[in-house]
Homo-oligomer: A and B are copies of this chain.
Amino acid sequence: KVPQSKPCEDGGQPCKKQKKMLTYQQRAALCTHPVAKRLFTIMHEKRSNLAFSVDVTSATQLLQFADDIGPYICLLKTHVDILEDFSQDFVTRLQATAKKHNFLIFEDRKFADIGQTVLKQYISGLYRICDWAHIVNAHIVPGPGVIHGLSKVGVPKERGCLLIGQMSSQGSLATGEYTTAAVKMAEENSNFVMGFICQGSLTDDPRFIHMAPGVQLGGSGDQLGQQYNSPAQMVTEKRVDVIIVGRGILNAEDPVATAKLYQHAGFEAYENLSNNLCFCTI
């Protein structure tokens, strides 16, 4: 059910400015992409638009974090290529934890090579990413071949891909026409591409999911160019769907309590957005 609209501020006349906003549940119903459908469903059921970026270098520590923070998130974002002790056993345990707490796994590999190469990087090597990551992402700089290469493997396995349309780092070149090109490539490959890594909404198509890294309560940045926005800024102002929080939780004194805080802040921003939008028109 679409949330109730408030009377339009503009004297009760239909407000042309606001777009109709769909709930996660409605968007799940619209999705034909299996992973997007599943993720929107989890977001609705768990009342969470929080992704946790668990950038630790110990697999044991990663699994502990996944188990502790798992109940509050819709998605766990990994960089398995920084783990000192990656193993097949780790993968099995990670998958079990994801199932236990009902979250998806997103390996933030940022594939960025020609099609033939990313295909091999996705299926082979020590990490065999396609075997366990529900979602991966790709830079579009090589051209559409990067998506074609990955989708040859990903589509049969019912995996999803996010295109990097924007980045949170200072001086990023993913802007303007580059970002527009990402949206076009997503639309042309929507059997595999399910959304974007971005800093704000890039398309009104409700089937695409927008995820923003660089989210922190009260943070400003680091010494290597990272820049932060708050959950409310990202969800209410920038209209992103999923907030990706890493160091905001990892470096907190109480990571579990802090994850709950981010879950609440992110979901409240989504609900506020619903409540404040005018639904008098499409």
Contacts and interface: CB of A to CB of B under 8 A. Distances in A.
Interface of A: 55, 57, 79-84, 86, 108, 110, 112-117, 119-121, 124-127, 139-146, 148-149, 164, 167-174, 178, 181, 222-226
Given A83-B126, A110-B112, A145-B171, 7 more contacts: A79-B117, A81-B126, A115-B226, A140-B173, A141-B172, A142-B172, A149-B224
A106 B108 CA distance: 23
A139 to B, nearest CB: 5
Contacts of A143: 167, 169-173, 225
Number of copies: 2
12 contacts: A57-B120, A81-B127, A82-B121, A112-B112, A112-B139, A114-B168, A115-B224, A116-B226, A139-B141, A145-B170, A145-B226, A149-B224
A30 to B, nearest CB: 29
Contact of A225 (B108, B114, B168, B171): B114
Contact of A167 (B126, B142, B170): B142
A83 B81 CA distance: 14
B167 A173 contact: no
Contacts of A168: 114
Nearest to A110: B112
A262 B77 CA distance: 43
Among A145, A172, A181, the one with the most B-chain Cβ atoms within 10 Å of its Cβ is A145
A148 B222 CA distance: 12
Nearest to A113: B110
A141 B165 CA distance: 10
Across chains A and B, which 7 residue pairs bring their CB atoms closest together, nearest first? A115-B224, A145-B225, A143-B171, A82-B120, A81-B125, A114-B169, A112-B112
A226 B144 CA distance: 11
A57 B164 CA distance: 27
A12 to B, nearest CB: 46
Nearest to A176: B177
B224 A119 contact: yes
